[in-house]
Amino acid sequence: MLPPRLRGRAVEIQRKLFALPMRCKLVEPQNLHITLAFLGEVNEGKVKLFSKELDEICKSHAKFEVNIAELKIIPSESYIRVLALDVQDKEVLESIAATIQKKLGGKSAPPHLTLARVKRVDDREKVLEGLHALPANLGSFTIDSIHLVQSRLLPTGPVYQILHESPLG
């Protein structure tokens, strides 16, 4: 999960996003996290297996620093659906994500921190102007573990639960 000092900065950016002429769903502050991979539906029996595999993957990596900066517009500026911050210095995270995909399956994603899911853009030019003016550098922090997280989508939004934490080497 995101350290509190960076979470506060992310919430400030989210406030600025919410003021732009678009309709979006902000990720709740307690749910802000870096996404590595989407494993899809996993039955309870596989959670123990996945946890054990994740422990093995993480043993071979030492703690490391990442910087969260640079706004990502996903999939593109012409079709804005997700607003996220990019993870800089992400080579280790990409390596972990690739190993997770190889050993556990699922879909790997470039490491990112989702801020909002966009439902509708009312004035694209003003939104893009506002997005490009955002101070997007949250800062650096040490990653010392990887979490296996369950995401349940409810009408009020996703609810995340940490199922397992794997410390890095």
Catalytic (active-site) positions: 33, 112
Cα separation, 156 vs 151, in Å, equals 13
| DSSP annotation string for 17-80 | HHTSSEEEEEPPGGG--EEEEE-----HHHHHHHHHHHHHHHHTS--EEEEEEEEEEEEETTEE
User: Any bridge partners for residue 139, and if so which?
Assistant: 68
- Tokens 């102007």 correspond to 129
Q: Which two tokens stand for residue 161?
A: 């639960």
